[in-house]
Structure 1
């Protein structure tokens, strides 16, 4: 049990570290060189770097701005929501700040192609955010700010507050860098959202199979023996034949659904199979339930 918990924690922290590194690559290598403000504190940090370039050579580094802006947010979150609430977000934020400091800003493989930047930045950042969210964590920033505001304004949802806050950051980017870059940044945000959602859904998705066959007992035995998956027998009545029969129901991974179909065809080529997506499955053999 202890080894299992240790493995889960290790995987959890690896996902956060890899995810925040990819997020830093999208910011430092793609967005910052082309001055694309995609929202969040990292977007605001890009604006601050440009503005402070007059006073500091090269402007204030992104990692330093990100860190300084997050400190008051985390202190407020601890007071308002408690230590447990910010525990995972704190580790992710520290990891993201370190990644921003380590990833070189001089390495620009996109050139001046803003469409390419929006696509690749969106994909890389989306994968990073998806991995962080899959670890049940957050990098703080505007996400944390939205949650703090929600505590005082519960009649506004967190996504709605986050949209407004990030919208303000994008508006600041428009004022600083012009509307053209902002429009490409919006494309990048859209791609980031789609990619991160796809990663989360891909991790949670499973397949449901309904199997109708006169050989239901043999099919159930083979599924339980060869795939080690549970099967539920549901009483059903064929309305055409008016005969009582058993309909098998089981939930398997995407890869196993192919084996299920082959196994059923082996036992009863005339079996009727219905396959559909299960949006999220929790329990033995799948994702553990977390409160």
Structure 2
């Protein structure tokens, strides 16, 4: 997704700025006022602010804790992920800290924890996803997840985050209670799903395999009526021991109904396999640009 959205270096910084502001809004207006620890360094910052309230009036500000706890992680990451990441991470960390300092801590959803979990999770997920799209990190557990992702690339960054943040949420449970923690877990799940969707791409499509003896007629109908390309794949039916031609086609989500109806009209006995496609590059979908 980064290839299509990040057309200039300036866009990286714009995405980071917008993303950190959205995260700060979800933290200062939802999580911190209600004592919901959703994980990450900011989650620990909420706990620290609560525990230091008797030492400093109002406790240590979130933005101060965010900077202090991120310094050692950033230093360690430089040796593994390189100096290029350091620049983006420092910028994102400073942006988040600045946003946390500027966005007022106001309880906009008093005592409505379910709505807070949904709203905060979705808002924070969009912000986190935008930051990841820009190949940046706000540091903290985000940065730790990126380090793990380097060695375990088959796990997406948001999915790694949900495991790490689980430990932070457990700490929050000991300070704010189990009830608020359960709502925080809902928020973490929503954040993960939203950010994962943005990171992997929102332009989902449908892939269909069609097995039918009327493959020529079906292929022609798809190309003419749906104006979609079709690929014929030679196959062999193991039960009938006969050679067949299986049709392969990718369409948009709204076109899959038209495709299945079109196939059933031509051959009611046709075998159709439909599955989700995360991202499609090529004519009629996303055009690849270097």
In 2, are the aligned partners of 1:207 and 1:275 still within 8 Å (CA)? no
On the 8 A contact 2:162/2:189 being kept in 1, the answer is no
Contact 2:37/2:44 (<8 A) preserved: yes
Alpha carbons 1:205, 1:277 under 8 Å: kept: no
Per-residue deviation, 1:230: 3.8
In the alignment, the residues of structure 1 paired with residue 216 and residue 11 of structure 2 have an alpha-carbon distance, to the nearest angstrom, of 39
Q: 5+ unaligned residues in a row in structure 2: which ranges?
A: none
Q: What is the Cα deviation at residue 42 of structure 1?
A: 0.5
1:99 aligns with 2:99: yes
Contact 2:24 2:103 in 1 (8 A): yes
Instruction: Output one character per residue of 1:63-90: Cα deviation in whole Å (capped at 9) or x when no partner.
Output: 2321332233222211333124445544
Alpha-carbon separation, structure 1, partners of 2:16 and 2:252: 24
- Aligned-pair RMSD on alpha carbons? 4.2
1:83 and 1:112 map into 2 onto residues whose CA distance is 44
Once residues 243 and 108 of structure 2 are traced to their aligned partners in structure 1, the CA distance between those partners, rounded to angstroms, is 65
Q: Equivalents in 2 of 1:97, 1:173: separation in Å?
A: 21
Counterpart for residue 123 of structure 1: 122
Contact 1:213–1:270 (CA under 8 A) maintained in structure 2: no
| Structure 2 residue 79 is matched with structure 1 residue 73 | no
Change (3 A) 1:247 1:33: same
Please list the CA deviations of residues 118-162 of structure 1 after superposition, one character each: whole Å capped at 9, or x if unmatched: 3332233233334444555432211323555899x99xx999986
TM-score of the superposition, structure 1-length normalised?
0.72
Tell which deviates more after alignment, 53-62 or 36-45: 53-62
Per the alignment, residue 274 of structure 1 pairs with 272
| Aligned: 1:211 with 2:210 | yes
1:174-228 deviations in Å (ceiling 9; x for gaps)? 3433343333323332333344445556626421112345664465456557766
Asked whether the equivalents of residues 219 and 230 of structure 2 are also in contact (C-alpha less than 8 Å), the reply is yes
**2:204/2:279 contact within 8 Å kept:** yes
Question: Contact 1:265–1:271 (CA<8 Å) still a contact in 2?
Answer: yes
Return the alpha-carbon distance in structure 2 between the equivalents of residues 253 and 56 of structure 1. 56
Q: Do structure 1's residue 178 and structure 2's residue 172 form an aligned pair?
A: no
Match of 1:284 among 253, 275, 282: 282
Count of matched residue pairs: 282
Q: Distance in 2 between matches of 1:27 and 1:135?
A: 21
Give 1:143's aligned residue. 142
Please tell me whether residue 42 in structure 1 is matched to residue 21 in structure 2: no
Q: In structure 2, how many angstroms separate the alpha carbons of the residues matched to 1:160 and 1:239?
A: 39
Where in structure 1 are there 5+ consecutive unaligned residues? none
Q: Are 1:251 and 2:250 counterparts?
A: yes
